[in-house]
Amino acid sequence: MKKTAVIAVSTGCLDYLDIKHDNLFIIRCKIIMGDKTYNDYVDLNADKFYETIKSDSNIIPTSSMPSLGEITEAFEEIEKAGYEEVIVNTISSALSGTYQTCQMAKNSYEGKLEIHLVDTKNAAISEGFISLEALRLIEEGKDAKTIVPYLEKLSLCRTQYFMVDNLRLLVKNGRLSGASGLLGRMFKIKPILEVNDEGKIVPFEKVRTQRKSLERMVDHILEQLKSLDNFVITYNTSDNTEGFEYVKSRIEALYPKVKSYAAPITPVIGAHTGHGTVGIAYFDLDKAKE
């Protein structure tokens, strides 16, 4: 069996989970605020980031992806550590150029490391879950050629919704597809957005209040879960504890034993969602194994 490593991007929020895997490596995006640049999580974590942007509404944070050189250095580090192959799981290519940059790094890499890229078509902790599955399968003795097709299918067996308290940053940074119908009323609604099968963020339902938006989001999820037998839930939030607890408690009241993962939305994602976001996703594990 080949010695296999996993590269995740900091956008997957795995830094916030209590996990330890010697073969997990995280490449970091950057958050830019004014004339300062921060490494995601390492220099600026979720607590500090949301405290900062809430205290000054004039701050417009932006983000940048890992550089070609940083990705190449990660490949070199992994090969020097004795790994023969690596699975690289990136944030959706529709939301970031990270996948494309990883492809460039792979094409130009001169070492012997076998590099396998997966566009997770996800973001935040649902993106991170793809890497957790890769790590689990490696521990079971599977190699990359077996794991990668499963991960690619798993990424499409996901349904993901999130409520954004304010669309300002998503629209300004160009991460919301099909936003024209929302712009005129963007400050008056608390929309439910969806990450579609292409990995794009698109409007799903227009709702007037935050509470109603959260209720409707959970209603949709619970209705869909009725037909599933084997699934995993992911939860995330950008500093909206009350909304997060409401969503999580409603799901867990009906599915107390279902495996779930929860994490803050890391700053490089929060630079686009702003504070107040609550998200939920589920993965249909039976469908992914078909």
Domains defined for the chain, CATH in brackets? 4-154 (3.40.50.10170), 158-289 (3.30.1180.10)
* The pLDDT of residue 229: 95
Q: Which of 10-19, 144-153, 198-207 is predicted with the least confidence, judged by mean pLDDT?
A: 198-207
Q: What integer best gives the mean pLDDT of the chain? A: 92
Q: pLDDT (tens digit, 9 = 90+) per residue, 202-222?
A: 889 988 889 999 999 999 999
Q: How far apart are alpha carbons 225 and 126 in whole angstroms?
A: 17
Contacts 24+ apart (CB under 8 A), 169-175: 169/60, 169/61, 169/271, 169/272, 169/273, 169/274, 170/201, 170/272, 170/273, 170/274, 172/60, 173/62, 173/63, 173/271, 173/272, 175/95, 175/201, 175/272
Q: State pTM to two decimals.
A: 0.93
Model confidence band, residue 117 (pLDDT cutoffs 50, 70, 90):
very high
**Residue 177 in this model has a pLDDT that exceeds 50:** no
Question: How many residues appear in the chain?
Answer: 290
Alpha-carbon distances of 39 from 27, 32, 267, rounded to whole Å: 10, 9, 9
Q: How far apart are alpha carbons 172 and 167 in whole angstroms?
A: 8
Q: Residue 124: left if φ>0, alpha if ψ -120 to 50, beta else—which one?
A: left
Q: How far apart are alpha carbons 175 and 189 in whole angstroms?
A: 18
**Residue 228 in this model has a pLDDT that exceeds 60:** yes
